[in-house]
A and B are shown apart, each in its own frame.
Chain A
Amino acid sequence: MSAPAPSVPRVDPAIQVRGLAKRYADVVAVNGVDLEIRAGECFGLLGPNGAGKTTTIEILEGLTRPDEGEVQVLGQRWTGGADRALRERLGIQLQETKLQDKVSVLETIELFRSFYRRGPDPDEVLRRVALEEKRNAWVVKLSGGQRQRLSLACALVNDPELLLLTTHYMDEAERLCDRVAIMDHGRVIALGTPAELIASLGAEHVVEFSAAGTLDVASVERLSSVRQVRREAGGFALIVVEPHIAIPALLAELARQNVELHRLTTHHATLEDVFVSMTGRTLRDE
């Protein structure tokens, strides 16, 4: 989600949510969510499937009515009736929408453009998403990435003040978002800038390894510079402060335990590591 920066900084938040709850017959999809998203910031909502992200966004988009809580979008509430004025100001992309196959890129953009009173010319929108060369191609002929760009183009036809996008790429969220909220089981379990969230791990490097034989985990946990040890599919992951200290210590410990090392890799800690350390599950878990 992002709100393009206005020329004069706004005081009002672009989105304000208090005590949001939504229940379906057999599940509680959203269970008390508070959010405040400032004008001009790029805000990401992350979490595994079923965490309540989609329901939360659909409530923000005015497509689903909450059971409880208050929602203000660009200073307005969804009323269920006279919402057209608010819709004029939003750009929306739904992950699951499939546009009509045998309609061209330009025809699709012209259609969506016609729903709004104001906005750039369709050709200008095509240029912004770099689809000029596919202008007259049918949707069915587009690659997956081109369809995503067309879907984005449909969200840009009215020069929206607020864009509500759906993305499934974690690394995009980490790179692009000013702030991120991580959701699980219908609640926000962490909120902050990507750097802050990663810093909450206590260290910013991850060492992953696999080894043959039985490992005494407790003694690995006591190694200097190691903050956390967790088991993962096919091995272990250590969250470490300084790899140049932790890795020689780990190798010495494995040799002492007489355990053979099969694989060792390192990477900078990501939001995925933050989620795993908070919940014990990966974001990709169904």
Chain B
Amino acid sequence: MSERRGLAATPLWQLTRVRMVGFLREPEAVFWVFAFPVLMALALGIAFRSSGPPRSRIGVVDGPGAAAVITALQAAHDLEVIRVASSDAEAALRRGRIAVLVRPGDPGAPVLTFDPNRAETRLAQLATVEALEHAAGRRDVVGATLDTRVRAGSRYIDFLIPGLIGLNLLGTGMWGIGFPIATARQQKLLKRMLATPMRRSDYLLSHMLARLVWLVMEVVAVLGFGMLAFGVQVRGSWLAFALVNLLGAVTFSALGLLVASRARTIEAVSGLMNVTMMPMWLLSGSFFSADRFPTAMQWLVQALPLTAVNNALRAIMSEGAGLLTVATPLGIIVAWGVASFFAALALFRWE
């Protein structure tokens, strides 16, 4: 007979530990929380990568004067020049192997053949003419300065990473809280624990604590990958970034608790979770901007907690916003969290 003391012997610590090891020993759960968002970021980041300014391929028909034309065109950086035989010229143009066909007019002006209805061939033709004119001695009169730096945070991957973090906060909050609670209820483990002196608040709190540990790990995984692989940055305050993640995680956990408050079976809770998450997957602007939905729908779209999390994360990461700038989405997040938590407490059944 002994009295055990210390943090390791407290019910809150033990409950949290069992939750954590139970999760880490499920390979599927670990995959969906950590690996899946990283793979998604990788696939979408590669599919929509920026590959530098486009280069147009110009064909020059072989013959007298071809060498001079080729030298003139090679001075332009956005042109790639190939020499084509006269007999192959039309076929190369038709198949799109070259954008513009140049027949040197030795003597006389060269003849350019291209399709004026396509933007890229039209651009290639303009660049070709410009290169030829420059080579012939034309001077720029206006002399505009060209600013070609890519604006920070404007790439698709910069848009995507905050959306993936938001989606992950939603998914982990719902599955990570709702699923184990419904399972424990179905397996009568909640009832068994109720027969001990365990405080009910310790049980609910342990789910929240375990959730916050995963939060740190999953945000580090997705953001770290975005930073290392694509150079994504957090331009605003790290404190604001951390706070939005924390509030988002707590709010979605409360939503998970609400969904699991009555469900007696795993099937029931899975259905409820999908019904809750599906509208946010579609409407909350994780993969494309929520502004694309019609104005009449915007009140609904903007009121969803995931929209608020995504908007706040994007403002902080891409636009360098501080806490005050994201006060409105933060308010929406907190309101959802408080309402869900109290509704869950009122509805919760231990059996």
Contact = CB atoms under 8 A, between A and B. Distances in A.
B195 A102 contact: no
B2 interface: yes
B183 to A, nearest CB: 9
Contacts, number: 82
A93 to B, nearest CB: 9
Interface in B189-208: 189, 191-199
Interface string B1-24: 111100001110111011001100
A88 B197 contact: yes
B197 A121 contact: no
Interface string A68-102: 00000000000000001101101010101111101
B263 to A, nearest CB: 17
B9 A114 contact: yes
A113 B289 CA distance: 51
Interface in B204-223: none
B17 A94 contact: no
A248 to B, nearest CB: 54
A154 B196 CA distance: 10
Given A110-B14, A114-B14, A118-B1, A99 B189 contact: yes
Contacts of B193: 115
B198 A107 contact: no
B194 A100 contact: no
Contacts of B2: 118-121
Contacts of B4: 113-114, 121
B50 interface: no
A97 B187 contact: yes
B1 A98 contact: no
Nearest to A138: B25
Contacts of A111: 14-15, 17-18
A103 B22 contact: yes
A115 B198 contact: yes
B22 A100 contact: yes
Contacts of B194: 63
Given A102-B26, A114-B9, A114-B10, A61 B1 contact: no
B11 A114 contact: yes
Contact of B197 (A87, A94, A97, A154): A87
Contact of A103 (B18, B188, B191): B18
A116 B18 contact: no
Contacts of A90: 195
Contacts of A121: 2, 4
28 contacts: A63-B191, A63-B195, A63-B351, A84-B199, A87-B196, A90-B195, A92-B192, A94-B188, A97-B187, A97-B188, A98-B189, A99-B189, A102-B26, A103-B18, A107-B18, A107-B21, A108-B18, A111-B18, A113-B4, A113-B9, A114-B9, A114-B11, A115-B193, A115-B197, A116-B196, A117-B3, A120-B2, A154-B192
